[in-house]
Amino acid sequence: MPTADILPMPIPRPRGRPKSPPDPLHLPDDLAAHVQHLVRRELSPRTIETYSECLRAFARFLTEVGKPPREVGSRDLMDFQVWLTRLEKRNGGHFSAAYRSTHITVVRGLYRWLHAEGLLPEDPARKLKLPRMGHRLSRDVLSAEEIRSLISQPDGSPSGLRDRVVLRLFALSGPRASELGNLNPDDITLSAREMFIRRGKGAKDRLGFFDTDTARHLAKYMEKARPLLAAPGETALLVGRTGRRIKPFQLRAIVKKYARAAGITKPITCHSLRHSFCTNLLRAGLNLKAIAELAGHVSLETTAKYTRVEIGDLATAYRAAHPLAEEVA
């Protein structure tokens, strides 16, 4: 029976440097095989590690109940949900609904795959519900003024020229940190103000775009700064202190450094700038499908989640769009 093309939901990323690829030998056979399936689908190492951590937790649960994965029923999976609520952090607190939702999403994907492979007659997780989570309004979206302040912070030194390019591309083009780090000079077309993003999420290629000022800063960086910063033979567009391809953790450090310099008190990350990119496009009137294409989102649900706007924006949009909004007392 052919394997179904099951796309996993976006899940929270662990902080810090990505770990080495997980060792599936520490998992039961079916769980290890599922990890290898995800590796073959060329998901990112960080995503693979997160899925593996969730499956290791599920393996601990299976050990406690004394059942192999294929003998688990829907009732057992409901017990797994309860088991997750009882897990404690090192400080004695309990994990969030988002944490539990990630684990349940991964387990649902596992059983969809086992069923699609013909290893189970039916999917015991098909009715498994995700925990309810309150829809929190985004606090990490930067205003246009905050973005202007942020991208104006780097100086004219070679590393400053690089950092200005990093900030401008994050805020005005919306790539993921891994995608930005993977760019090579040949991926940049200054005349068309385009960048070719190779093997983004889901191993898909796409085009990204940037503005005239960013093109000017890119040209200056590539002509004057990169030759001084890059090690001999290095093919990356952006390089770190060693002259080698810049890493996501180094990009995060750049963003935090200049956020502090700009006096931004919000908890800003690389993802915050991507989130701001999507949200500001939505506020400018671009439709969700176009934003999803620009951001490289697999589903519109992801785009909608990233682009929640403030209550004031919703009220303004409603009053401007609804023909009777201001007529009815």
85-111 pLDDT, tens per residue? 887 777 666 777 778 888 988 999 999
Residue with tokens 């796409």: 206
Q: Where are the domains of the chain?
A: 1-134, 144-309
188-202 pLDDT, tens per residue? 999 999 999 886 565
Establish whether domains 1-134 and 144-309 are of one fold: no
Handedness of CA 200, 205, 206, 211 (dihedral sign): positive
More confident residue, 72 or 128: 72
Question: Percent of the chain, pLDDT > 70?
Answer: 77
Q: May I ask the CATH class of domain 1-134? A: mainly alpha
Alpha-carbon distance of 94 to 156, in angstroms, equals 47
Entry pTM:
0.59
Q: Are 1 and 116 in contact (CB under 8 A)?
A: yes
Least confident range of 126-135, 144-153, 168-177, 295-304: 295-304
For residue 181, pLDDT beyond 60: yes
pLDDT at res. 302 = 62
In the chain, the amino acid numbered 236 is A
In the chain, the amino acid numbered 151 is I
pLDDT, average across residues 61-76 = 92
Least confident range of 14-18, 173-177, 224-228, 258-262: 14-18
In the chain, the amino acid numbered 72 is V
Residue with tokens 């969730």: 54
Q: What integer best gives the mean pLDDT of the chain? A: 80
Inter-axis angle of helices 270-283 and 144-151, to 10 degrees?
A: 140
- Give the Cα-Cα-Cα angle 287, 292, 298 (nearest 5 degrees): 145
SS3 85: helix
More confident residue, 283 or 273: 273
219-271 pLDDT, tens per residue? 999 999 999 999 999 999 999 999 999 999 999 999 999 999 999 988 888 88
Q: Are 303 and 278 in contact (CB under 8 A)?
A: yes
CA of 304: how far to CAs of 82, 119, 135, 149, 299, in Å? 29, 35, 12, 27, 9
Q: Classify burial at 181, counting beta carbons within 10 Å of its beta carbon; exposed 0-12, middle 13-18, buried 19 or more.
A: buried
CATH topology for the 144-309 domain: hpI Integrase; Chain A (1.10.443)
Question: Percent of the chain, pLDDT > 90?
Answer: 43
Alpha-carbon distance of 48 to 14, in angstroms, equals 11
More confident residue, 315 or 88: 88
DSSP code per residue over 68-102 = -GGG--HHHHHHHHHHHHH-B-TTS-B--HHHHHH
Tokens of 227: 């030759």
pLDDT band at residue 132 under the 50/70/90 scheme: low
Q: Are 70 and 125 in contact (CB under 8 A)?
A: no
pLDDT band at residue 327 under the 50/70/90 scheme: very low
For residue 51, pLDDT beyond 80: yes
pLDDT at res. 133 = 54
Inter-axis angle of helices 158-173 and 248-261, to 10 degrees?
A: 90
Alpha-carbon distance of 261 to 203, in angstroms, equals 35
Least confident range of 62-76, 169-183, 194-208: 194-208
Alpha-carbon distance of 319 to 265, in angstroms, equals 32
